[in-house]
Amino acid sequence: MTLPAPGAGRFAPSPSGDLHVGNLRTALLAWLFARSTGRAFLLRVEDLDRVAAGAEERQLSDLAALGLDWDPPVVRQSARTDRYDAAVDALSADGFAYPCFCTRREIREAASAPQVVGDAAPAADLAYPGTCRSLTPADIADRVAAGRRPAWRLRAARETWTVADLLHGSFTGRVDDVVLRRNDGLAAYNLAVVVDDAAQGVDQVVRGDDLLTSAPRQAYLGHLLGLPPVTYAHVPLALNGDGRRLAKRDGAVTLADLAARGRNAEQVLAVIAASVGLTGTPQDMLDGFDPAALPAGPWIVDPALL
């Protein structure tokens, strides 16, 4: 029996600013997971939201400075909107999408909004209460006539979905009526990432573990669209001394800021590598890379080490 060749892994930054050392650490791990398994490694620029001038160029330059390479071309989501529209149309034709006219305030205030599932579910992970699920054609026409532009939501046919994660094992999370296309016409993250991964042949998704709860939704969406499943690996985040997600406000945490303090890319790479128990160049790290040996907890970034 001949097994199919591995597909690809990817790193997909949003060009809203410079990458910090936590982002670079995730990129390094995504590269190691892909290259160590014989996969291609792709870069996708997720530029559907805020784009800072020059950010994409600086991000690619920083990745290259660490010794990471990628397989061309670099893909930008802003050039792929037709694919997202086609996916929403397909889901709608199968009865799995519907227009939603709710504002964020209306959703927050909905008395029927369900409670958080599980003690660890974040507040931002609350499910949509289904207000617009049963609108009649007349209801929809009235709202459109009043000048309200709808978003499009998934009409989920189940409440949970289970994914397999290389670091977290079997994970079951909630599936709800997530937004597929916003009311400004742009595809929502959960839809775009699923469509792009399938179109690019990505079968390995390595990213921060803050997105673990999104994986069941995305896997379910892929299932409804008839797309191949992916393998997940959600890696621990980099946190500041207060246990919060690392951000630019935490000081010199980007390559540019650290360069201003006299730290070159090789020195920064050494600190990042040490946080996952590795040394040397990315190519050197391939020989000793073992996902099972990765730290289970977050990387608490010590500014003194940078």
The answer as to whether 165 is a domain residue is yes
| Confidence bin at 126 (pLDDT 50/70/90) | low
CA dihedral (271, 274, 280, 281) positive or negative:
negative
The residue type of 215 is: A
pLDDT digits (tens, 9 = 90+) for 263-304: 999 999 999 999 999 999 999 999 989 999 999 999 999 988
Q: Is the pLDDT of residue 146 over 70?
A: yes
pLDDT in tens, 20-42: 999 999 999 999 999 999 999 99
Q: Which amino acid is at 23?
A: N
* Residue stretches of the annotated binding site for L-glutamate: 10-14, 46, 189, 207
What beta strand segments (E) does the chain contain? 8-11, 40-45, 75-76, 97-100, 151-154, 160-165, 169-174, 179-181, 204-208, 231-235, 238-239, 299-300
Last residue of a domain, one of 158, 190, 222: 190
Do 56 and 85 lie in one domain? The reply is no
Q: Say yes or no: 114 and 173 in one domain.
A: yes
Whether residue 198 lies inside any domain: the answer is: no
Asked whether residue 49 falls in the same domain as residue 75, the answer is yes
Task: Name the binding residues for ATP.
Answer: 248
Cis peptide before 6 (omega within 30 of 0): no
Rounded CA separation 171/95 (Å): 27
In this structure, what CATH number is given to the domain that contains residue 266? Answer: 3.40.50.620
pLDDT of residue 5: 61
Domain span holding position 165: 81-190
Backbone angles phi, psi at 139, to 5 degrees: -60, -45
The answer to whether residue 61 sits within a structural domain is yes
Annotated binding site: 10-14, 46, 100, 102, 128, 132, 189, 207, 248
Domain boundary among 190, 219, 253: 190
Q: Does some domain include residue 44?
A: yes
Residue 74 is encoded by which pair of tokens? 């670099």
- If asked whether residues 127 and 166 sit together in one domain, one would say yes
Q: Is the pLDDT of residue 119 over 50?
A: no
Task: Express each pLDDT in 195-209 by its tens digit.
Answer: 999 999 999 999 999
Pick out the residues of the known binding site for Zn(2+).
100, 102, 128, 132
Which stretch of 123-132, 162-171, 193-202 has the lowest confidence by average pLDDT?
Answer: 123-132
101 within some domain: yes
What is residue 116's predicted lDDT score, i.e. its pLDDT? 41
The tally of domains found in the chain comes to 2
In a domain, 12, yes or no: yes
Output the domain CATH number for residue 173.
Answer: 3.90.800.10
The reported pTM is 0.91
pLDDT of 213 > 90? The answer is yes
